[in-house]
Amino acid sequence: MASTPLTPPAPLRARAANRPRDSISSWPLADRIGYMLCWAAGLSLCLIAGAILLLMFIKGISYLRPELLVESPSAAKDQGGTGGFLDPIEGTLLLTAIGIGLAAPVGVGVATWLNEFQRPAWLARAVESGIEMIAGTPSVVLAIFGLLVFARGSLGFLSQTSAGGAVYGRSFLIAGIMMSLLALPLIVTSTREGLAQIPAHLREASYALGKTKATTIRRVLLPAIRADIASGVTLGIGRIIGDTAIVVILMGGTLQLQGAGGAPLLSTLRGTGSTLTSYVFENSPAGEGNAPQKAYAAAFVLLLTVLALNLAVTRMSSGRAAAAKQP
Amino acid sequence: MERPANGRRVLAGGVGAPLASPPVAGASRRRVSPSLTEVKERMRLESVSLAYGDRWVVRDVTLGVRRGEVLALIGASGSGKTTLLRSLNRLTEVTAGASRAGAITLDGEEIERLEVTALRRRVSMVFQQPNPFPMSVFENVAYALREEGREGLRGWRRRMGARHELEPAVIDALRRAGLYEEVADDLDHPALRLSGGQQQRLCIARALAAGPEVLLLDEPCSALDPISTATIEELIVGLRESVAIVIVTHNLQQAFRVADHVAFMHLGELVEYGSSEQVFDHPRMPRTRDYIGGAFG
C-alpha cells in the first residue's frame, strides 16, 4: 500500500484553463469599448512611468558627477563654474526635518483625538473639515498665506528683520511650518485608518485590566499602529520633499544657505536657502540659473529619494498587512 | 460519577452532541465538592437592571458571585448575559448611553464608590476573541502588572530596567494560566504568533496577573478548537479555588462541565438560578426546561 505512488491532483490553473473562458466577445459593444479604454489607460500609465524613469535615468547618469553632491552652488557665467548642489541637499533635509518634526506629533495627536474622543462633536466635525480644507489647499496658496502671517513685526524672531524694521517673513522655520501643513493631513489620515482598524475589544481588554484611556492609547493603540504612523510620515516626507512653491516663496531666491547670524543652528533656521526642487526650478530652462544639465542631475537625485521613500511605504504597508491578522 | 447517565441524556438530546465521554475537565471536576474549598461571597448583585438608551436589556437580577465556585450565565443570544457580565467591572460604561439601576457590591463595597481602574484590577475580564496586545508574551502580562500614572519620570526610568522585578510575577501568572511550559523559551516572541488557544490562555494570564478577586469570562472558548477548549475548561475549574469565576457561555455542555451554579437568563430576566445539578437535571421553570431541552436557543 505504502509503495503506491501518490499522484498529486492536477493544478488548479490547468483545470481553470479547461473551463470555458468568460470571454468579453459576448459583451455589449459599449462595455467592450469601455474595457479596452481601461486597458489602454493602464498601459499608457505604465509607459509614462517607464518613460519618466528611463529619461531621468539617462539624463541623470550622464550629468551626475560625485563632486556635484559636495559642492555649494555659486554664481558663474558658464555652467561649468556654478558648483554643485550640496546646499540644496542640506536644505531639503533640514526643511523635511522641520516639517515632519512639527507635523508628526500634531498629526498623531489630532488623529487620536478625532478617533478616540471626538468630544465635543461639533469641534470634531470642524477639525475634520479643517483638515480636508488644508489637504485641498494648493501649496502656493499656503506659501502666500505664510508670507502674510509671518511677515509681521511680532513674528520677526522666526526670520530676519531688515535695518528699516521690516520683517522678511522668509526662512527655513517659516517654510518648515507651512510644509508641516502639507504633511499633516496625510499623517492624520493614515493614523486614523490605523486606529479605526483596531478592534474595540482590544481597547476593552486594556480597560478591563484597570488601565485608563490615556494609558491604553499610549501603551497599546499607538504602538499597535506604528506602521500606519510611519507610512503617513513617509508620505508626508515625500510631499514635503516634492514641493517647490513654498520653498521658492518662503525661502527666498538664493541657492546657498544664508544664515541670519547668531548661534549656528538658529542662524540657519532663521536664514534662507534652497532645496533640490527649487534648485531644479531655478536651473531649468524656465529659471534664471539656466544650467539644465545640473537641473537634470538634481532632478535625478530627487527622483531617487522619492522612489526610495515609496519603496519604504510599500514595505511598511506589507508589514501592516501582516500585523493586521489580529482578529 | 455522581451524575447518572440519564442526567446527561437530557442535555445530550438537547444539544445534539454525546456527553458520554466528557473532556477531561468535566470528569475530574466533579470529584471536587464545593465543601472542600472555602466558599466566600465576593460580589452581590441586588435588583440590577441595565439599559442601553431607553431599551432595558437586563431586568431586576439578584445574584451572588462566590469565590470557590464557578457561576455560569446561560441563555439565548440577546438574553442580556454579556451585558450583565460587563456591568460587574463597569465595562458597560464604555458604551455610550448605557445606564444601570440596582446595586452591585464587591466585598460589601458599592462598585461605584471604587476607582474604576482599581475595580477593574480586582474584577478582571477575558473576552470572546483572544485579544493579546501586539507586543511580546512577556510584555502582555507585564502590562497588567504595571501601575501607570503613579510612576512619573523616575518610575519610567525604573521601568526600563524593571524586567527582573516583574519577571517572577509574570511567570507566576503564566503558570497559573497553564501556559508557562509552552512559552518559557519564547517570552520575547510576539504574542500574536501563538496559537488561538495559547493566545486565550495568555489573556487569562494577563487577567490573573494583577491578582483579581473575580474573573469574568465572556464565552472564552467560542473561538477555539475542542482541545484548547478542554484545556481552558480544566484551567477554569482549577482557578475557582483562588478566584471567583463568572462565565458566560452559549455552550450548555460547557456550563455543565465547569459550573457549580448556573443562572439561566431569558430576554433580560433571570429565569432560574441554582446548582448546576439542579438546573440541568431538575429545572424548575418550564422555560429553562425548554432551553436546556433545545426547544429554543
- Residue A289: predicted pLDDT: 63
- Record the cell numbers describing residue B192, joined without a space: 500574536
Regarding predicted confidence, which is higher, A96 or A319?
Answer: A96
Confidence of residue A253 (pLDDT cuts 50, 70, 90): confident
Residues from chain B that touch A209, judged by Cβ atoms under 8 A, are: 120-121, 124, 143-144, 206-207, 210
**Contact residues for B1 (Cβ-Cβ < 8 A; gap 6+):** B30
A220/B133 touch (CB, cutoff 8 Å), yes or no:
yes
Contact B275, B72 (CB under 8 A): no
A205 touches B: beta carbon within 8 Å: yes
Regarding predicted confidence, which is higher, B22 or B214?
Answer: B214
CATH architecture of A87-325: Orthogonal Bundle (1.10)
Q: Out of A187-201, A257-271, B176-190, pick the least confident.
A: A257-271
Where are the domains positioned within chain A? 87-325
Contact B202, B142 (CB under 8 A): no
CA–CA separation, A272 and A173 (whole Å): 9
Residues from chain B that touch A208, judged by Cβ atoms under 8 A, are: 89, 91, 120, 124-125, 127, 207, 216
Closest-CA residue of A relative to B148 is A215
Type of residue at B71: L
Residue in B268, B264, B258 with CA at minimum distance from that of residue B285: B264
Provide mean pLDDT across the span B154-182.
79
Contact A281, A292 (CB under 8 A): no
Give the distance from CA A99 to its chain's centroid. Answer: 11
Alpha-carbon gap: B68 to the closest alpha carbon of chain A (Å): 22
- Residue A294: predicted pLDDT: 85
Burial category of A321 from C-beta neighbours within 10 Å (exposed 0-12, middle 13-18, buried 19 and up): exposed
- Record the cell numbers describing residue A121, joined without a space: 462633536
DSSP symbols for B221-288: TTTS-HHHHHHHHHHHHHHTTTSEEEEE-S-HHHHHHH-SEEEEEETTEEEEEEEHHHHHHS-SSHHH
- Residue B30: predicted pLDDT: 46
**Contact residues for B220 (Cβ-Cβ < 8 A; gap 6+):** B126, B127, B128, B200, B204, B232, B236, B247
Regarding predicted confidence, which is higher, A292 or B175?
Answer: B175
**Contact residues for A142 (Cβ-Cβ < 8 A; gap 6+):** A178, A181, A182, A245, A246
Rg of chain B on CA atoms, in Å:
19
Please, where are the H alpha helices in A167-243?
Answer: 172-197, 200-207, 213-216, 222-224, 226-242
ipTM score of the complex? Answer: 0.83
Confidence of residue B35 (pLDDT cuts 50, 70, 90): very low
Closest-CA residue of A relative to B89 is A208
Alpha-carbon gap: B120 to the closest alpha carbon of chain A (Å): 5
- Record the cell numbers describing residue A295, joined without a space: 537641473
- Record the cell numbers describing residue A56, joined without a space: 531621468
Q: How far is CA A2 from CA A8, A9, A10, A34, in A?
A: 15, 18, 21, 56
Q: What is the DSSP letter of B40?
A: E
Residues from chain A that touch B207, judged by Cβ atoms under 8 A, are: 208-209
**Contact residues for A267 (Cβ-Cβ < 8 A; gap 6+):** A259, A260, A261
pLDDT of B295 > 70? The answer is no
Alpha-carbon gap: B252 to the closest alpha carbon of chain A (Å): 24
pLDDT in tens, B44-97: 999 999 999 999 999 999 999 998 899 999 999 889 999 999 999 999 998 888
Residue in B189, B247, B220, B260 with CA at minimum distance from that of residue B33: B260
Positive or negative torsion for Cα A178, A182, A183, A185:
positive
Q: How far is CA B2 from CA A1, B18, B113, B259, in A?
A: 48, 18, 43, 15
pLDDT of B283 > 70? The answer is yes
pLDDT of B212 > 80? The answer is yes
- Residue A5: predicted pLDDT: 62
Alpha-carbon gap: B18 to the closest alpha carbon of chain A (Å): 31
pLDDT of B22 > 90? The answer is no
Q: What percent of chain A is predicted at pLDDT more than 70?
A: 87
Residue found under cell 506629533? A105
Q: Out of A6-15, A256-265, A290-299, B283-292, pick the least confident.
A: A6-15
Provide mean pLDDT across the span B147-164.
58
Confidence of residue A105 (pLDDT cuts 50, 70, 90): very high
Confidence of residue A151 (pLDDT cuts 50, 70, 90): confident
Q: Out of A308-322, B209-223, B263-277, pick the least confident.
A: A308-322
- Residue A325: predicted pLDDT: 44
- Residue B263: predicted pLDDT: 95
pLDDT of A4 > 70? The answer is no
- Record the cell numbers describing residue A143, joined without a space: 506659501
CA–CA separation, A21 and A12 (whole Å): 14
Confidence of residue A164 (pLDDT cuts 50, 70, 90): confident
Provide mean pLDDT across the span A175-193.
96
**Crossing angle (nearest 10°) for helices A86-116 and A276-283:** 130
Residues from chain B that touch A201, judged by Cβ atoms under 8 A, are: 127-129, 131
What residues in chain B have their Cβ under 8 A from chain A's Cβ atoms?
89, 91, 94, 116-121, 124-125, 127-131, 133-135, 143-144, 148-149, 192, 203, 206-207, 210, 216, 223
CB under 8 Å, gap of 24 or more: what pairs does B57-64 form? B57/B83, B57/B268, B58/B83, B58/B84, B58/B87, B58/B265, B58/B268, B59/B268, B59/B269, B60/B102, B60/B269, B60/B270, B61/B102, B61/B265, B61/B269, B61/B270, B62/B270, B63/B263, B63/B270, B63/B273
Contact B254, B233 (CB under 8 A): yes
Provide mean pLDDT across the span A318-324.
57
Q: Across the strands, what pairs with B72? A: B247, B262
Largest separation between any pair of C-alpha atoms in chain B? 64
pLDDT of B246 > 60? The answer is yes
Residue found under cell 535625478? A300
**Residue A77: CA atoms inside 13 Å, Cβ hemisphere, count?**
0
Confidence of residue B188 (pLDDT cuts 50, 70, 90): very high
Contact A283, A73 (CB under 8 A): no
Alpha-carbon gap: A108 to the closest alpha carbon of chain B (Å): 19
CA–CA separation, A220 and B133 (whole Å): 7
- Residue B157: predicted pLDDT: 53
pLDDT of B6 > 60? The answer is no
Q: Out of A44-53, B19-28, B130-139, B227-236, pick the least confident.
A: B19-28
- Residue B216: predicted pLDDT: 96
Chains A, B: CB contacts under 8 A, how many?
77
Q: What is the DSSP letter of B90?
A: T
pLDDT in tens, A37-93: 999 999 999 999 999 999 998 988 888 888 888 888 877 767 777 778 888 999 999
CA–CA separation, A237 and A306 (whole Å): 9
Q: What is the DSSP letter of B94?
A: G
pLDDT of B1 > 80? The answer is no
- Record the cell numbers describing residue A20, joined without a space: 470555458
- Record the cell numbers describing residue B145, joined without a space: 502588572
